[in-house]
Amino acid sequence: MVDELVTHPHVVLNRMSSADAAGVEELLAASRTFDVMAGWVIYLCRQREWNALTTDPGRLQRIDPQVPTELLL
């Protein structure tokens, strides 16, 4: 399954630049959360105007309640 997931065209695997890190830090500060991975997902979804694929929508919605999510089962 992991092989299929990482080759999916909507899965982004890239390094976080210092500008990206600052953007994620702003998201986390605004939401008063400390979940860097979830913040990174939200940041990328906002940039690309994508839905977030997740098994835990609540984790992402604590940072951005408006983020569109699709539940992975």
Confidence (pLDDT) at 45: 92
2 pLDDT band, cuts 50/70/90, is confident
Confidence (pLDDT) at 1: 66
Give the total residue count for the chain. 73
| DSSP calls for 30-70 | HHT---HHHHHHHHHHHHHT-PEEES-HHHHHTT-TT--EE
HSE-up of residue 66 (Cα within 13 Å, Cβ side): 5
CB 28 within 8 A of CB 36: yes
pLDDT tens by residue, 7-65: 877 777 778 899 999 999 999 999 999 999 999 999 999 999 999 989 999 999 999 99
pTM: 0.82
Task: Tell me: pLDDT of 66 over 90.
Answer: yes
